[in-house]
Amino acid sequence: MRNEIVITAEGHKGTLERLQTEFSAIKLWEASDRDAALRQAAPRVRALAHFGHAKVDGKFMDALPKLEIISNFGVGVDAIDLDAARQRNVIVTNTPDVLNDCVADTALALVLNTLRKFPQSESYVRSGLWPTRGAYPLTTSVGGKTLGILGLGRIGEAIAKRAQAFGMKIRYHNRNKKDVPYAYDPDPVALAKNSDVLLVVTPGGAGTAKLVDAKVLDALGPQGYLVNVARGSVVDEAVLLRYLQEKKIAGAGLDVFEHEPNVPAAFWTLDNAVLFPHVASATVETRKAMGDLQVENLHLHFAGKPVKTPV
Ligand code: NAP
Ligand code: 8YV
Quickly state the pLDDT bin for 1 (edges 50, 70, 90): confident
My answer on whether 247 and 294 are in the same domain is no
Q: Are 227 and 200 in contact (CB under 8 A)?
A: yes
Looking at the fold, whether 81 and 120 belong to one and the same domain comes out as no
In a domain, 203, yes or no: yes
* Rounded average pLDDT over 284-300: 98
| Banded model confidence at residue 80, pLDDT cuts 50, 70, 90 | very high
User: Do residue 267 and residue 161 come from a single domain?
Assistant: yes
Mean pLDDT of 69-85: 98
Does the structure show a pLDDT above 90 at 227?
yes
3 lines ligand 1 (CB under 6 A): no
Is 47 within a domain?
yes
Q: Within this chain, do residues 30 and 112 fall inside the same structural domain, yes or no?
A: no
Residue to probe by mutation, ligand 1, list 75, 157, 210, most atoms within 8 Å of CB: 75
Nearest of 102, 101, 46, 50 to residue 76 by alpha carbon: 50
Instruction: Give the Cα separation of 302 and 99 in Å (integer).
Output: 25
- 175 plus 291 within the same structural domain: no
Q: What is the mean pLDDT of residues 193-212?
A: 98
Q: Are residues 128 and 207 in the same domain?
A: yes
Could you tell me if residue 36 is left (phi over 0), alpha (psi between -120 and 50 degrees) or otherwise beta? alpha
Q: Give percent of the chain with pLDDT exceeding 90.
A: 100
- CA dist 69 to 16, 20, 55, 220, 310, Å? 17, 17, 16, 42, 10
Rounded distance between C-alpha atoms, residue 26 and residue 7, angstroms = 6
Does residue 173 share a domain with residue 38? no
DSSP string, 174-199: -SS--SSSSEE-SSHHHHHHT-SEEE
Residue 238 belongs to a domain: yes
Pocket of ligand 2 contains residue 203 by CB under 6 Å: no
Q: Say yes or no: 31 and 121 in one domain.
A: no
Compute, in angstroms, the gap from residue 56 CA to the centroid of ligand 2.
15
Q: What pLDDT, in 10s, does the model give residues 165-185?
A: 999 999 999 999 999 999 999
My answer on whether 69 and 158 are in the same domain is: no
Residue 170 in any domain: the answer is: yes
Atom of ligand 1 nearest to the CA of 201: 30
Dist CA 298 CA 285 (whole Å): 20
- Contact 104 CB / ligand 1 (< 6 Å): no
pLDDT of residue 145: 98
Tens digits of residue pLDDT in 28-41: 999 999 999 999 99
Per-residue pLDDT band at 236 (split at 50, 70, 90): very high
Domain count, the chain: 2
Q: Are residues 295 and 240 in the same domain?
A: no
| Cα–Cα dist 135/34, whole Å | 57
Angle at the Cα of 34 from the Cα atoms of 33 and 37, rounded to 5 degrees: 90
Q: Counting atoms of ligand 1 from 1, which one is nearest the CA of 178? A: 47
Does residue 311 lie within any of the structural domains?
Answer: no
CATH number reported for the structural domain that contains residue 44 in this entry: 3.40.50.720
Average pLDDT along the chain: 98
Average pLDDT over residues 8-27: 97
Report which of 82, 111, 294, 311 is spatially closest to residue 197, judged by C-alpha positions: 111
Q: Indicate whether 125 belongs to any domain.
A: yes
Does residue 173's CB lie within 6 angstroms of at least one atom of ligand 1? yes
> For residues 240 and 207, what is the distance between their CA atoms, to the nearest angstrom?
19
Q: How many residues does the chain have?
A: 311
Structural domain for 129, as ranges:
100-275
What confidence tens digit (pLDDT) does each residue in 133-154 have?
999 999 999 999 999 999 999 9
Whether the Cβ atoms of residue 288 and residue 266 lie closer than 8 Å to each other: no
Arithmetic mean of pLDDT, 272-295? 98
Residues 293 and 232 in one domain: no
Question: Is there a single domain that holds both residue 55 and residue 104?
Answer: no
Nearest CA, atom 1, ligand 2: 74
Q: Is the CB of 99 under 6 A from ligand 2?
A: yes
